[in-house]
Structure 1
Amino acid sequence: MSTRKPIESWLTDMDGVLIHEGTPIPGADAFLTGLKESGKPFLVLTNNSIYTPRDLHARLTRMGLHVPVGNIWTSALATAKFLDDQRPGGTAYVIGEAGLTTALHDVGYVLTDHDPDYVVLGETRTYSFEALTKAIRLINGGARFICTNPDQTGPSPEGVLPAAGSVAALITKATGKDPYFVGKPNPLMMRAGLNVIGAHSETSAMIGDRMDTDVLAGLESGMETFLVLTGLTTLPDIDRYPFRPSRVVDSIADLVAEI
C-alpha cells in the first residue's frame, strides 16, 4: 500500500463524533482545542440543514465546544453553493428551515412557489402535507428536484426521526423523479468544504461515525478516513460494507494525539 502524506487539515462530522444527543463526547473539546492551537484548517460538518452556522456555533458553545462560525459546513451551505454554481440568481420552492432558506438567500436565490427552477427539500420538524403536495405538483410541472441529504433517519432524545431522505422517497414515489442529493455521501459536499478552507484531499482526513455517509464520502473524496464507534456504526457493522475506513478508533479522544 502507498504511504499517505501527513494530515494537514481535518474534516469531522458533528453528531456521533463531537456530540451525542446534546452532550459533548469525551475528548471532543480537547480535539477542537488541539486543532485551533495547531493552526491546521478544519471543518465541522453536518448533513442536517435545519440550523445556520451561527445557530450551530451557539448550540455548541452552550455545550462547552467552541467552533468558529467559519469552521462549520452544512448540507444547506453546500446545496446553496451547488445551485449558485449551476444556475446563479435562480428561484426555488423550499421545504426546510432557516439553515437552508438563509443559505439560499445569501447566494441571491429568490424563494417562490411560482414556476421555480428548483424544488429544494431539506430537514424540518414540521413537514406538512400541503407543502409536500405543492412540491410534487411543481416537480411534475418541470421544476428540478434537489435534496440537501439522503439521510433516512435522524437522532433525537426520544429516538429516531424521519429525515430528508425518507421524505424525498415519498416525493419520488409520487412524481417518478429522483432528487439530486448534495450532502454526504456525495463527495461534492466534501470537495466544496475542502475548497472553503483551502485544503487538498491528499493531505486531509475525514472523521465520522457512519460508514454509509461519512466514511464513504471521505473515501470517494480521496481523504484518509477515521471511523469512531460513538455513533451509529458498530464494530460488527463494518464488515457488511465493501469498503473500509483507514482506521477505526473508539472515540474522538483517540485522535487528539494525531493532530
Structure 2
Amino acid sequence: MTYKGYLIDLDGTIYRGKDRIPAGERFVQRLQEQQIPYMLVTNNTMRTPQMIQDMLAENFNVETPLKTIYTATLATVDYMNDMARGKTAYVIGEIGLKSAIAQAGYTEDKENPAYVVVGLDRGLTYEMLVTATLAIQKGALFIGTNPDLNIPTERGQLPGAGSVQALLEAATRVKPVIIGKPEAIIVNKALEYLGVERSRAIMVGDNYLTDIMAGIKNDLATLLVTTGFTKPEEVVGLPIQPSHVLASLDEWEF
C-alpha cells in the first residue's frame, strides 16, 4: 500500500539524543522531495516548536516548516482550551511547555489551579511535587503531557515525564489524562493538521509502547524502526505486531 501521509516520531527515529541518525534525516528529505505530507509528532515538551525547528536544521540536516512540527505541548494546550475549565494552571515542565501554556492565556496558580500539567522538568524538586500533589487533591484536573517512562539519549534511557506522573499518581490516587502518544488526543489532532485520511496515513517511530501503540490504538498503519527504544530482539515477542519493521529508514520505499 502507498501511504499518503506520515506521522513521524523524532527522538530515537530522526535523531537519538545528540547523536545523528542519518537514515532518519534522509527519510524526511525523501518525503520532501516527493512532496508527501508529514507531521513530526513528538511527546517531548522541553522545547518549543521553533526550538525543535532550529535544532533539526543546526544539528540534524533537516530543514522543515514550523507547521510540520506538532508537540505534546501544542496538543495539551488544544485540550485545555477544549475543556474550558478555567485559565489557571500549575505546570511542571520546561520552557517549551510553560511558555506555550502562558501564551495561551493561562496564569500560574499554586493553590487552586484548574489544571495541573506535568511534563519532564530536569529542574524538578520535591517542593514542586508537593505543590502539584496538593492541587490535584483539591480537584485540579491532572494532565500528563506524555506517558514516556524513559527518554533515549546518548547516555542511555533516562527518566521521562511518565515517571514523574507515576509518582504523582501514587501520591494522589488520581490517574492523569494523558495527551501524548499513544493516546488519541495527540494522534487525532495531528491527523487533522496533516489533512490525510486515517486509512491512508502511517505512524513511524522507534518506541513500541508510545509510537507504535499510538497507531495500533487509533487505527493507523505502523512502521517500527529499531534505532531507539524498542530493540530488534524484542520484536518477536510484541503482543501486536507493527505493520512494518525496519532496522533503518533507508530501507523504506515510498
- TM range, normalised to the smaller chain? over 0.9
Q: Is the partner of 1:27 in helix, strand or coil?
A: helix
Are residues 1:104 and 2:101 paired?
yes
Distance in 1 separating the partners of 2:95 and 2:251: 35
1:89 is displaced (CA, Å) by 5.4
Of 229, 238, 241 in structure 1, the residue corresponding to residue 238 of structure 2 is 241
Paired residues of 2:12 and 2:152 also in contact (CA < 8 A): no
1:235 is displaced (CA, Å) by 2.4
Deviates more, 1:197-206 or 1:97-106: 97-106
* CA deviation map 1:89-147 (0-9, x unaligned): 52211011111122223333223224111100011111111111011111111111111
Are residues 1:148 and 2:160 paired?
no
Q: Is the partner of 2:11 in helix, strand or coil?
A: coil
User: What is the match of residue 11 of structure 1?
Assistant: 7
TM-score by length of structure 2 reads 0.94
1:163 is displaced (CA, Å) by 1.3
Q: Is the partner of 2:162 in helix, strand or coil?
A: helix
Pairing 1:17-166 to 2, within 5 Å after superposition: 17-63=13-59, 64-87=61-84, 90-166=87-163
Cα distance change of structure 1 residues 215 and 97 upon mapping to structure 2, 3 Å threshold: same
Paired residues of 2:16 and 2:153 also in contact (CA < 8 A): no
* CA deviation map 1:76-99 (0-9, x unaligned): 111111111111752211011111
User: What is the match of residue 169 of structure 2?
Assistant: 172
Distance in 1 separating the partners of 2:243 and 2:154: 31
Deviates more, 1:27-36 or 1:13-22: 27-36
User: Which amino acid letter does the alignment assign opposite residue 150 of structure 1?
Assistant: P
CA RMSD of aligned residues (A): 1.6
Paired residues of 2:118 and 2:143 also in contact (CA < 8 A): yes
TM-score by length of structure 1 reads 0.92
User: Which amino acid letter does the alignment assign opposite residue 10 of structure 2?
Assistant: M
User: Which amino acid letter does the alignment assign opposite residue 11 of structure 1?
Assistant: L
User: Which amino acid letter does the alignment assign opposite residue 179 of structure 1?
Assistant: P
Paired residues of 1:226 and 1:248 also in contact (CA < 8 A): yes
Distance in 2 separating the partners of 1:126 and 1:11: 30
Percent of residue pairs identical: 36
1:158 is displaced (CA, Å) by 2.5
- Structure 1's unaligned 5+ residue stretches are none
Paired residues of 2:187 and 2:218 also in contact (CA < 8 A): yes
